[in-house]
Amino acid sequence: MKIGFDHKKYLEEQSKYILERVNNYDKLYLEFGGKLLFDLHAKRVLPGFDENAKIKLLHKLKEKVEVIICVYAGDIERNKIRGDFGITYDMDVLRLIDDLRAYELDVNSVVITRYDEQPSATVFMNKLERRGIKVYTHRATKGYPTDVDTIVSDEGYGKNPYIETTKPIVVVTAPGPGSGKLATCLSQLYHEYRRGKAAGYSKFETFPVWNVPLKHPLNIAYEAATADLEDVNMIDSFHFDAYNKISVNYNRDIETFPVLKRIIEKITGEESVYKSPTDMGVNRVGFGITDDEAVKEASRQEIIRRYFKTGCEYKKGYVNKETLQRVKLIMEELNLKPEDRKVVIPARVREAKLKECNDRNEICSAVAIELNDGTILTGKSSDLLDATAAAILNAVKHLANISDEIHLISPVILEPIMNLKSKTLGSRNTALNCEEVLIALSICAATNPMAQVALEKLSLLRGCQAHSTTILSTSDDQTFGKLGIDITSDPEYSSESLYYNN
């Protein structure tokens, strides 16, 4: 895809504005909106954006930064899943700690928010503490969100323990939305001022982008990505009233701004420097856009991907009908169709041909992959391979100029794997999935030069697009993610099985 974003310029702008905010206070509590690492949404809608831009920026400022991680106790209790990794929020906290340490960033502590003795949250707290991680618990704030006098008192934020910090920038992050980041920042502000220290609050934002139009596909793609949260982009009326300038924010920030402003003023005892929710954010993404048309097209494609993703999540029971309807309305608003994604029709055509030849009336699956040069290849399900595995093999064969008739994986390797799955492990589905095929290919590469050449071409699949006519298994979905392939699926299961089809 054509590059439309200057990553280097963005980092320079964002660093500069963060440091400007820090200079006004003894300490700045910086709430991070969105993903701190692996921001794949930003990477897809801003071609040229580094998915780890935020943590690389913090790494540059590592001498000034320490990190607090928030997680809502209720999310731990109900095993809430982070969709892009397929792991629960508590496991994502562990992953986040490891990743932050890899970038030489100090992890101060983990805060379990709205804690009410939930058993799973208590077990997680014990696990952290026994691995040497400091853990704090915050209860629900009395009086929140309207009774400011109670909130900013010993009965409100004063009930929370004070988190000792030593560096001028305290980043407050979380596995996902609703984790209590803002409340943690404000609680710390309360305690800092009680100790006579001038502390400030700001928000590291990415979306919506305040200085591009409200109906720009980039901002609409954000609405599609947060359809389950019912986020709606709006003109920031507070910003317009204060500066006579149009800026874009989203409904939750605009709705809560008057109360948030009053809370900050009650804590500090002086008028807030922020006149609008836009003022509170540090967001220089818009200044990194170098090709607006490239960003628009990338954003349209992301909206279509979100349409497919939401359809599959609805089928699985993860989202309600209203969420699915919101994404459909966004598609209609931009006059987009599912078939505007180039890999959709080839996959469906391949599946239709399979059904014509299928005498056993079984459900068939097909996958289409668009390579970076525009070539589209397909793979089909069989007794031997999943459609995803077949498509990957066909793609690396094409990239390695290996004839389709040549088998890269020896039957001597395949047969014991299938026997292991069926006879030893008792699996009902003996067809090899994507990960199993890649392991088999790597084993064959030790003795087969052509398999080695094909294996070396896997890196060329990063950034490719793919579509499956059936919902992927969790394993295949994660493998495609690790390969860097953006894959969507029609909301149909590959078999009638209920338990053995997940």
> Where is 330: in which H helix or E strand?
helix 321-333
Residue type, 305: R
Lowest model confidence (mean pLDDT) among 16-30, 249-263, 304-318? 16-30
- Domain containing 248 — which CATH number? 1.20.1570.10
pLDDT score at 194: 94
Lowest model confidence (mean pLDDT) among 94-98, 169-173, 268-272, 403-407? 403-407
**Same-domain status, 181 and 212:** no
Work out the average pLDDT over 112-135.
96
Higher pLDDT, 229 or 255: 255
**Same-domain status, 399 and 367:** yes
**Same-domain status, 177 and 216:** no
Structure tokens belonging to residue 237: 């009326």
In angstroms, what CA-CA distances link 116 with 36, 73, 112, 139, 158? 27, 8, 10, 7, 17
Work out the average pLDDT over 323-333.
97
In angstroms, rounded to a whole number, what is the distance separating the alpha carbons of residues 462 and 387? 19
Is the residue at 219 inside a domain? yes
Of 140, 171, 206, the domain-final residue: 206
106-113 and 169-173 beta bridge pairing: unpaired
pLDDT score at 156: 95
- Domain containing 8 — which CATH number? 3.10.630.10
Work out the average pLDDT over 451-462.
95
In angstroms, rounded to a whole number, what is the distance separating the alpha carbons of residues 335 and 357? 35
Which residues lie closer than 8 Å to 90 by C-beta, 6 or more apart? 71, 76, 120, 124
Is the residue at 496 inside a domain? no
In angstroms, rounded to a whole number, what is the distance separating the alpha carbons of residues 279 and 370? 42
Give the model confidence (pLDDT) of 190-205 as tens digits.
Answer: 999 999 998 999 999 8
Count of all residues that appear for the chain in the document: 502
Work out the average pLDDT over 339-351.
96
Give the model confidence (pLDDT) of 386-403 as tens digits.
Answer: 999 999 999 999 999 999
- Alpha carbons within 13 angstroms on the beta-carbon side of residue 122 total 4
Of 187, 206, 225, the domain-final residue: 206
Cβ pair 219, 249 in contact under 8 A: no
**Same-domain status, 247 and 152:** no
Domain coverage including residue 386: 342-489
**Same-domain status, 237 and 143:** no
Higher pLDDT, 252 or 172: 172
Is the residue at 460 inside a domain? yes
**Same-domain status, 308 and 182:** no
Work out the average pLDDT over 285-304.
97
- Domain containing 347 — which CATH number? 3.40.140.40
Q: Is 169 left (phi over 0), alpha (psi -120 to 50) or beta?
A: beta
**Same-domain status, 253 and 394:** no
pLDDT higher than 80, residue 133? yes
pLDDT score at 489: 97
Residue type, 496: E
**Same-domain status, 183 and 328:** no
199-204 and 169-173 beta bridge pairing: unpaired
Q: What are phi and psi of 256, to 5 degrees?
A: -90, -10
**Same-domain status, 228 and 136:** no
Which residues lie closer than 8 Å to 450 by C-beta, 6 or more apart? 400, 402, 406, 408
Handedness of CA 471, 407, 409, 444 (dihedral sign): negative
In angstroms, what CA-CA distances link 84 with 15, 263, 309, 452? 27, 35, 11, 30
Is the residue at 498 inside a domain? no
For residue 71, name the pLDDT band (cuts at 50, 70, 90).
very high
DSSP letter assigned to residue 232 = -
Give whichever of 52-61, 157-166, 174-183 has the largest mean pLDDT.
157-166
For residue 86, name the pLDDT band (cuts at 50, 70, 90).
confident
pLDDT higher than 60, residue 500? no
Q: 3-state class of 498 per DSSP?
A: coil
**Same-domain status, 229 and 302:** yes
User: Which string of DSSP letters, residue by residue, matches 27-77?
Assistant: EEEEEE-S-SS--HHHHHHSTT--TTHHHHHHHHTGGGEEEEEEEEHHHHH
* Count of the separate structural domains present in the chain: 3
**Same-domain status, 230 and 165:** no
Is the residue at 479 inside a domain? yes
Work out the average pLDDT over 90-101.
95
Handedness of CA 401, 404, 406, 407 (dihedral sign): positive
In angstroms, what CA-CA distances link 119 with 88, 126, 153? 16, 11, 29
pLDDT higher than 90, residue 363? no
In angstroms, rounded to a whole number, what is the distance separating the alpha carbons of residues 482 and 502? 19
In angstroms, rounded to a whole number, what is the distance separating the alpha carbons of residues 43 and 225? 13
Q: Which residues pair with 385 in a beta bridge?
A: 432
Q: Which residues pair with 250 in a beta bridge?
A: 233
pLDDT score at 492: 93
Is the residue at 390 inside a domain? yes
Work out the average pLDDT over 81-93.
83
Q: Is 362 left (phi over 0), alpha (psi -120 to 50) or beta?
A: beta
In angstroms, rounded to a whole number, what is the distance separating the alpha carbons of residues 47 and 166? 37
For the chain, what is the mean pLDDT?
92
pLDDT score at 474: 87
Is the residue at 495 inside a domain? no
**Same-domain status, 261 and 382:** no
Is the residue at 375 inside a domain? yes
Compute how many other C-beta atoms are within 10 angstroms of the C-beta atom of residue 294.
Answer: 18
For residue 418, name the pLDDT band (cuts at 50, 70, 90).
confident
pLDDT score at 427: 80
pLDDT score at 498: 65
Q: Which long-range contacts (CB under 8 A, 24 or more apart) does 325-330 make?
A: 326/223, 326/227, 326/230, 327/224, 327/227, 327/303, 330/220, 330/223, 330/224, 330/227, 330/303
Of 298, 321, 340, the domain-final residue: 340
pLDDT score at 425: 82
pLDDT score at 453: 95
